[in-house]
């Protein structure tokens, strides 16, 4: 065992049991400013070839989340026409399901040495690390990518700039119920040892 990389079996045990909590089961309180800062700091420590930081974070909390829901409803109805009551409620509450939502924006761009794909993978790693750090901080969290990630009008309203796109939204709050376990891939079906020929 190297002193430069001490074993952390507790971390591996945590990763083996980590589960997403559906955003609809998250409640107050969410992380306070200091805890959220720590979570985001962890998320910014992902592999990042060239130190480009090809991602950034936008935090949605408080009353702003209700204003977002109203605007998303307007955008959805402009696209689809009048929505039924269930769908109206879904749009109005899309950002109020959890007390804190963090948008992760990929800002991958052409670079002479670093492929765009590597930069996009770094944004995905930022999402996963943010999700894991929130869980390790005692909160429930879920990574969602919904229609507003991909809609030009909605994503611009939510903070997307030219050349960016949302990698997703991480919903963070206090769990109100145990998460559901789901089946996982059989390791033999997704892992193999390379052999020539």
Q: Dump pLDDT digits (tens) for 34-82.
A: 999 999 999 999 999 999 999 999 999 999 999 999 999 999 999 999 9
pLDDT at 1 over 80: no
Structural contact between residues 29 and 61, judged by C-beta atoms closer than 8 angstroms: no
DSSP code for 152: H
Residue 182 marked in a binding site: no
pLDDT, the chain, mean = 96
Residue 2 marked in a binding site: no
pLDDT at 181 over 90: no
> Which residue, among 144, 70, 63, has the nearest Cα to 103 in the 3D structure?
144
> Looking at residues 9-30, what average pLDDT do you find?
95
- The residues spanned by each domain of the chain are 25-61+96-176
Q: What pLDDT score was predicted for residue 129?
A: 98
pLDDT at 3 over 90: no
SS3 183: coil
Within 26-141, where are the H helices?
33-43, 64-80, 85-92, 116-136
What CATH class has 25-61+96-176?
Answer: alpha beta
Residue 27 marked in a binding site: no
Residue 20 marked in a binding site: yes
Partners of 105 in beta bridges: 56, 166
Residue 161 marked in a binding site: no
């Amino acid at each position: 065992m190297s002193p430069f990389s001490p074993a952390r079996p507790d971390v591996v045990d945590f990763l083996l049991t980590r589960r997403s909590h559906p955003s609809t089961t998250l409640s107050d309180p969410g992380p306070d400013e200091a805890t959220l800062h720590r979570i985001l700091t962890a998320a910014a420590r992902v592999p990042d070839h060239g130190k480009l930081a090809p991602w950034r974070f936008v935090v949605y909390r408080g009353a702003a989340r209700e204003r977002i829901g109203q605007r998303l409803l307007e955008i959805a109805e402009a696209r689809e026409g009048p929505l039924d009551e269930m769908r109206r409620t879904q749009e109005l509450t899309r950002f109020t399901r959890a007390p804190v939502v963090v948008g992760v924006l990929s800002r991958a761009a052409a670079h002479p040495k670093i492929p765009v794909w590597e930069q996009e993978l770094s944004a995905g790693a930022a999402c996963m690390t943010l999700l894991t750090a929130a869980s390790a901080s005692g909160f429930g969290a879920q990574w969602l990518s919904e229609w507003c990630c991909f809609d030009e009008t909605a994503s611009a309203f939510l903070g997307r700039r030219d050349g960016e796109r949302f990698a997703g939204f991480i919903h963070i709050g206090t769990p109100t119920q145990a998460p559901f376990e789901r089946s996982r891939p059989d390791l033999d079906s997704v892992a193999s040892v390379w052999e020539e020929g």
